[in-house]
Each structure stands twice: as C-alpha cells, then as structure tokens.
Chain A
Amino acid sequence: MDYNILIGGAAGQGMDTLASAFSQVLHKRGYQIFTLQDYMSRVRGGHNYFQIRFSDEKVKSHSEVLDGIIALNQETLDLHIGRLKPDGFAFADVEVKSDDKRLITIHAKETAKEAGNVKTMSSVTLGALIKLFNMDEAFMKEIFSEKFDVELTEQNMASFKRGQEMVESRYEIGKGNPEKTMLIQANEAIALGALASGLKFYSAYPMTPSTSIMSYLTRRAKKAKMIVEQAEDELAAINMAIGASYAGVRSMTGTSGGGFSLMTEALGLAGIAEIPLVIAVIQRPGPATGLPTRTEQSDLKFVINASQGEFGRMVIAVRNPEDAFYQTARAFNMADKYQLPVILLGDQYLSDALQTIEPFDLEKISIDRHLADPKPYEEGKVYNRYELSENGISPRLIPGIVPGTAVNIDSDEHDIIGNITEAAEVRIDMVEKRARKFDLLKQELIEPDLLGEENMDILLVGWGSTYSQLSEAVDMLNEVGKNKYGALVFGDIWPLPQKKLMEKARKAKAIINVEQNYYGQLADLIRQETGIAMTASVLRFDGRPLSASEIAKKVKEV
C-alpha cells in the first residue's frame, strides 16, 4: 500500500494541526511517511498545503497523484482535484461546492460547535480521515495532550469521535512496521547532528527556509548547555560564529542565499585566518528575495565561489535526513581538521519535508577536534599559529589555555605568528600552505552514491535533495525501458569527487543532469572540473520540487 493525501487551505485554518496530528498517528502506528510542505510567504490566507504520503514500506519522496484531498477551502479543491485518482476521495465542509462524486461533505464546523468548541473542527475531519483508513482512536489522546491542556484535549477527543461516526471505513492499510523509526525534518536533523557533534554556539539571523535549525536549537539550548544568539544581521551572525570558534568552542551559523550574500566577506576571513566554521546554507529561489518559501538548487556556483581571493572551502550537499545528521557531524570534523569553512548546502524541499527514517546512531559519529597538544608549549616550545607544516595544517591552540602563549589570527596576510605582513616570500609560503591542506582534503572526499544499474546505458547525475526522487525515478525507468538507467547523486560536491563519474561517464551512451535550476549548475561544474559535457538536461526552476514520475517522464522525452 502507498497512499497520498493532500491537506490544504489558507494559513491560519488549522491545517498544520491536522497534518501534524495525522503524521504523528501514522508514525506511532509504524507506517513510513513523507510529508511535503508547500506554503506561501504570508502569515494569514493564501494557499498552503501538506502532502502526506504513507506506506508500510520506505517512502522516499513525494508523489503527484493523490488518493485523497482534505479541502479546508474551495481553492484547495479546485486547484488539486485534477490530481485526484478516479477512485479517490475528497473531504470538505458545506461551504465548499462541487458536484464531483468523490466529494464527501464533513460537517466539521457545525459538529465541533455541537461538541463544545468550534476551534476543534480540524479534529472532526481528522476523526473521519482516520476512520476512512480503518484506524481507531489509539494514540489520539496522547497526541492531543502533547499540544493542548486537559480541557482542550477533551474537546478535541469529543470532536474526533464525532468525526469517526461520519464515514465508513474504505481502505485497508494493514499493520505498521514494529521497528522503531524517527519522524524528522532535515533541518532538525542538521541541528541534532550539530548538537551530537558538540555544538556550543549557534548565531544566526532568521531567514526562511533555514530558521527551523535555529528554532530547534533554541528549544533545546538550555538542556544542551549551549548558546543560541539571534544576531543583528548575517554579518554579525557569521563573525560571531568565527569568534566563538577561535575561542575554542564548536560553532555554526545558518542562513539562506540572501543572508549568505552578506556573509561572504567573513567566509574569506575563516579561509585566510584558518578558523573552523560550519555554515548551513538552505537554498530558496533567488535572486534577491526571489520566492522565499519555495525550493531551488541555484546557489551551488555561488557557495563554491563566494568571497574574494582564493582559499579552500568544502561544500557538502545534503541529500536526505541521514546526510543532514551524519554529514553535519563530518562537516565539523573536516572544518576542525583542515581549519577552513565547510558549507552544508540544503534546500527548502528537503528541509521542510517530514520523513520517517531509521533512528540516528551516535556510535557512527565521532568528535575529532584536531587541536594541538598544549604540553610542549607549556614546557616552553615557541608557538606559531601559522607554522609552515608539510601538509599545510598548522597547530591550533585555544587562546588562554597555555600560560605565556598568545594565539594571534589575522584577516591580513600574515607571518607564522599571525602578524600582518606584505613580504612577497611570506605571502607565497602562506598561499601554498593553505593550498597544501586543501589538496590533502581532496583525498578524503566521498564519491557520489550510485542508484539503479551499475552498468547503465543512460547516466543521470544530480545532487542534494533530488536524491530521493532520482532513486525512485531510476527504478521506474528500469522497470519499463529497454535501456538500463543509473544515477550518480553528489553529496560531497566541492571539491568535486571525480573517480566514479569519470568511470561511469566513459561507458554511458548518454549523460543527463537533473537539477532544480535553469542553467544546470552541476553540469557546468562537471564540465569545468572534468571536461565531461551532458547529453541533455532535466531542469525545473518554478520553485516547486521535481517528482520521481516527472523525472522519469522527462528523461524519456529528452
């Protein structure tokens, strides 16, 4: 079984409560979920929806075809009924008009009023929905009481029960999987991964769709004994994160493209001063304000090239919630080891999607600070922050720890002590030192994941959040076509890992890049780094996510 339900309405109509309670019930019952969020940049009104896809097996991404629509207003029904299966259903209250046979009228408002509180009308609808899928009220009280006080919980339960009486069960959904899963958004997974890495300081300025990283950390800050500081602007946010990192604590900032534009000078500061820094850049369509609440993969070239001058930085594209957790942990270790900025590149689609995944395993991560041993310096060894070491990595001490030893960093070109210099030979030494450690980093890159057929005729390439759709798309393509399809999806993307790509590209008859942007930025990057040119492209740039079936269809067309 694999069902897909859309819950839509205007902001402020209780859709969030309904979608979140339904997702939680499914999660508690052991089903796998993928919940897509589509919302407008406004607090009231507009058209917003959730698409909840659930199954007893792994659900990787969203799907276009709907089994059900919960229309909290007329607009929702009108906009989405075209995607409803012929045997699907739609729920709506009396004010939504349609002569479509699939529409079931739920007297939510009136019933909730009768039950005691009109504000509980979404629980009437939820009761009907749960009954339709042949489930009972198990877990409901628990879910309501997490959110509401005793009285409101009772009122919601009353409305829920009345909702159950309104419809007959129609679907058989079988038993859920007894194995434990997590229900989490990628941004929460980034935040959790950062805490698991020993994050102590997070400074940021709120910006959609990155803000949920900050909000999760804020909720847990006291418990985790860490500081979350809402900075006055993104300039302060990144400079604060750099200052905290210099002082020795693991620190991080997060933003979206617009905020990252303001951070670029300080990105270079982390580069030349060799201060470890992790930055989450959660993309939305630009330029400038663009489409604030929608999705795009159009900042790849920007983050790779941001800031003046030449310095090494690492960019890891987040492909799924697992990456969001484990790669965040790796990002901290890489930043500490190579003393440079590491960017985690996500996007709105992935960051806001709520999914069930296998619980994170703390044993799979480690905290490697790569700090210099203070002992020799305590015994009188002279400390030089920018010592010209063979591999380019200089000993990093925390200031204030070793008596008599000062730790100096500088945004100017500097000598080994960290003092300003304009000497040509020192400049050459320092540029080469920084380049050596960046070359060393390239030895540790993770090659892209290969999905589908190992020996493919048609090679698809993608990066970041399209991982899940590409994974389903190659399965669809391999089921029907005579060609064999495989996909390489990049997580590590800068520096670009090339081995697997070169090997597969040589044998493939065609290479197609699949990206959420207009120009095909990964295609450009691949050509720049390897000389390999794409045969064709599948691109989407309207701010809405590509779906697996859409990719499969378009790949066949090109």
Chain B
Amino acid sequence: MADIHDFKTFETAWCPGCGDFSILESLEGTLAELGLKPHEVLIVGGIGQAAKTPQYLNANGFAGLHGRALPPAAAAKIANHNLKVIINTGDGDSYGEGGNHFIHNIRRNVDMTHFVHNNQIYGLTKGQSSPTSDIGHVTDFTPDGVINQALNPILTAIALGAGFVARAFSGDKDHLKEMMKEAINYNGYALVDILQPCVSFNKVNTFAWYKKRVYKLTGDESYNPNDKIGAMTKALEWGDKIPLGIIYKEEKKSYTDHFEFLRESTLLEIPYDKKLIQSLIEEFVQ
C-alpha cells in the first residue's frame, strides 16, 4: 500500500509560511492516494523556488535548467511512458523563461502534468515582477508599478488547445489535491495554475488577498468545462472574483498514442533489431 511517507524525506529551504509547503504536502498526499510508488513517478523542475520541488520529494527527480522543465519532461515520458511525469515549477520558469516551451508542449500534448506554483512574483532572485504580476504592482524593481500586461495562463492554455486547464489555490489543500488527481489522471498535457502567496516578496497578492477572491467551480452545475467559448470567458475572470477548478477539459489523443509501436511497449523496451539495420545499410549498396 502506498503511503504519504514514501514520498517524504528532505529538509526544505523555503521561507516559513510559503505556499510551496502546502503544494508539496498536497502532492505527496495525492501521489500516495493514487497508489503510486516513488520509482514510478518523475518530478521535473526548472529553476526557482518552486522548481526545488524535485529536491524535496522522494521520487525520481530531474532538476534541470531555468525555463527548460517541459522539454526534458516530455522526452522522458516519450522514452518511458510508464513513468508518471509531473512538472513542478514557477510562473517565471513556465511563462517567462520557458514561454516558448509552454506554447509548444501544449501543441505536443505529451501525457504529463504541469503544476505551476504561481505567486505572481520572482522569489529566488528576490522580488522582481513576474509575467503574471498585475499592472500597477509595485516592487523594488518596478517602483512606479508594473506597466506590462499580465499573462493570463488559463486563457493562453485554452487558446493554444490544451485539453486540461485548471486553477487551484495553495490555501485550499483538499481542492488542490482533487485538482492534482484529475490532472495526473488526464491523458495528455494538463496544466494546473496554482495560486500561492509569497510571504517574503509579494506584499500585494497575500494569502488574505487570494482567500477573499477565490471561489470554486466544483459543484456548480451551471458551469460546463467542455464548452471552449464558455471556458475562455471564465478564464477572463480575474480581480474581485477568481474561479478555481477545472476551467476547460477535452479528451484527445496524447503524443505517444499516435505511435503504433508504442502501444505494446515503451520506447525504452523496444529491442535492437540488427536485421533491420543491415537492411537499411543495404539500401545504399549496389
């Protein structure tokens, strides 16, 4: 029987009160409740505070480069689709430095789960604005307030054709776990944008700020997450009220489903075929 303690091990370097703690704890719980074992899971991170998650969890871990969490994660899944591949990394890593990979991995639709710890600020580099910082947000680096428009990850992901797009809040662990489970079980690229406070550097979007605004779509029968236009309208909701839950969902083939030779076994398990190689050489011979 899987147990949450299977995944717990390491000391962390996060600030007390950081939203990352509840995300980590929810993830450990989710993995255990799904009956997964540490060797069956691969956690991939880029660089940043959130991207330290692979370091703090007992599972296969790939702590890569800044902005480059998605490409190795996708390739590892393609190489061995028996692995549950989960990316834990931040808003800067996912939407800023790694923006191009965000776009194209939605197109690629490899079966993997992308948990973005979105605190609307840069933590590791100490307090610069992030791609999701709202206009007017004052930081030490934007003393007159942010003038660039914030990226809307939910709307962007739906527009790019993502098949699973959800939002959660680190302050509601039960709901977060529910979203994590749904995302992990989804066949294809799944994005969960997780709102979290940064106690050290984001003095605007605090725990209380989020708490006051978030509401759950779960249980709301009038909301249909399979309706793309409706989902895009919902994705525009930001400010006084922020919806949590599955904003958009659509079933489709994931990347590896397109390859017949990956139906029976993983790429890793396909044996070397010397005869075939010899025949490829013969094609050049006269």
Chain A interface (Cβ < 8 Å from any Cβ of B) = 27-28, 30, 180-184, 188, 192, 195-196, 198, 200-201, 203, 220, 222-227, 229, 231-233, 235-237, 239-244, 246-249, 251, 265-266, 269, 359-360, 362, 367, 398-412, 418-420
Contacts and interface: CB of A to CB of B under 8 A. Distances in A.
A182 B282 CA distance: 8
Contacts of B68: 235-236, 239, 266
B79 A201 contact: yes
B95 interface: no
A180 B286 contact: yes
A251 B75 contact: yes
B59 interface: yes
Contact of A404 (B37, B67, B270): B37
A403 B40 CA distance: 8
Given A227-B267, A242-B72, A406-B59, A362 B39 contact: no
Given A195-B277, A232-B101, A419-B10, A247 B268 contact: yes
A266 B74 CA distance: 16
A412 B55 CA distance: 11
A27 B286 contact: yes
20 contacts: A200-B270, A222-B261, A224-B273, A224-B277, A229-B75, A233-B100, A235-B100, A235-B101, A236-B71, A243-B75, A269-B64, A359-B281, A362-B274, A362-B278, A367-B272, A400-B40, A403-B39, A408-B62, A409-B62, A418-B61
Contacts of B166: none
B38 interface: yes
A405 B44 CA distance: 16
B55 A28 contact: no
Q: Is the interface of B mostly helix, strand, loop or mixed?
A: helix
A223 B104 contact: no
Contacts of B72: 239-240, 242-244, 246
A229 to B, nearest CB: 8
Interface residues of B, number: 55
A328 to B, nearest CB: 13
A241 B42 contact: no
A404 B280 contact: no
A195 B104 contact: no
A245 to B, nearest CB: 8
A195 B283 CA distance: 14
A350 to B, nearest CB: 16
B76 interface: yes
Contacts of A203: 71, 75
Contacts of A223: 276, 280
Contact of A248 (B268, B273, B281, B284): B268
B76 A246 contact: yes
Given A409-B62, A411-B64, 5 more contacts: A235-B100, A239-B65, A240-B71, A400-B42, A408-B61
Nearest to A139: B286
B43 to A, nearest CB: 9
B152 interface: no
A249 B79 contact: yes
B37 A410 contact: no
A464 B36 CA distance: 50
Nearest to B61: A408
Contact of B80 (A180, A247, A265, A402): A247
A244 B281 contact: no
A535 to B, nearest CB: 42
A239 B64 contact: yes
Contact of B62 (A180, A181, A246, A359): A246
